[in-house]
Amino acid sequence: MYVCICNAVTDRSIREAAREGATSFAELQRRTGCSDCCGSCEDLARGIFDEAVDAHRAFGLPLVAAAA
């Protein structure tokens, strides 16, 4: 599903950024461009990103290792 229409960022790409080690929303924005234009997607993008980061931390693994 597209989350950020302005920059064509999907929920999948947000989760992938979290798996690859993005640990802050600012870092997610730098990697994907998500929510750096109009900002209307920020709440949804933050929710998806926070959920993805929390899911990887729940396993006690580094975010990068969780993708393996």
Q: What pLDDT is attached to residue 56?
A: 81
13-67 confidence digits (pLDDT tens): 999 999 999 999 999 999 999 999 999 999 999 999 999 999 988 776 555 544 4
Q: What pLDDT is attached to residue 58?
A: 76
CB-CB contact of 9 with 32 (8 Å): yes
Q: What pLDDT is attached to residue 7?
A: 97
Look-up of token digits 């960022």: 9
Look-up of token digits 């600012």: 26
- Full residue range of the structural domain in which residue 31 is found: 2-66
- Number of compact structural domains in the chain: 1
**What is the domain-level CATH number for residue 7?**
1.10.10.1100
